[in-house]
């Protein structure tokens, strides 16, 4: 069994594609706190709510010296449509490559629904300190109130 990075560890520095066709990786944010929230799929009810909640609090995160990055396996072009449809302001990235950041953190994992087993994104959030180390992890996230909880934690570090 492999072990994944935990609190106090450096977050793996793996590049992901941005909706605009560029790339972003955790080391791009060193010197700032960073919230990386992993969510299963663009334009599904829980994921839409979570992205809207983080977008609504983006100015508060910025005031706390914290950047945001939402990550799913959806292709970058789908992210563009999702952003436009819902007026999202929290930046998104696509972690579609096998061996990507979600794999390195263990949030791309086996899931079960209606008796079927499949690989999917676990809704999880990582708070990285300005030093690039993981300060807090939320796994198996419930969407309601989550963005507010993460903001409070970001303000506290």
Answer whether 33's CB lies under 8 Å from 68's CB: no
Residues in the chain: 157
- DSSP, collapsed to helix, strand or coil, labels residue 84 as helix
47 is a catalytic site residue: yes
Helix, strand, or coil here: 76?
Answer: helix
Paired strand residues for 63:
none
What are φ and ψ of residue 132, in 5° steps? Answer: 85, 5
Question: Of 16, 24, 36, 47, which is the active-site residue?
Answer: 47
* Active site amino acids: 47
């Amino acid at each position: 069994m492999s072990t994944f990075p935990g609190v106090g560890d450096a977050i793996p520095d793996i590049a992901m594609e941005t909706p605009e066709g560029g790339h972003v990786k955790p080391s791009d944010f060193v010197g700032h706190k960073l919230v990386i929230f992993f969510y299963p799929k663009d334009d599904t009810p829980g994921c839409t709510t979570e992205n809207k909640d983080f977008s609504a609090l983006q100015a508060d995160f910025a005031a706390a010296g914290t950047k945001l990055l939402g990550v799913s396996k959806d292709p970058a072009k789908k992210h563009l449509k999702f952003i436009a449809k819902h007026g999202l302001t929290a930046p998104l990235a696509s972690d579609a490559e096998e061996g990507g950041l979600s794999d390195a953190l263990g949030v791309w994992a086996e899931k079960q629904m209606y008796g079927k087993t499949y690989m999917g994104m676990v809704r999880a959030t990582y708070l990285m300190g300005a030093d690039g180390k993981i300060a807090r992890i939320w796994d198996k996230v419930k969407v309601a109130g989550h963005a507010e909880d993460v903001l409070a934690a970001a303000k506290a570090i």
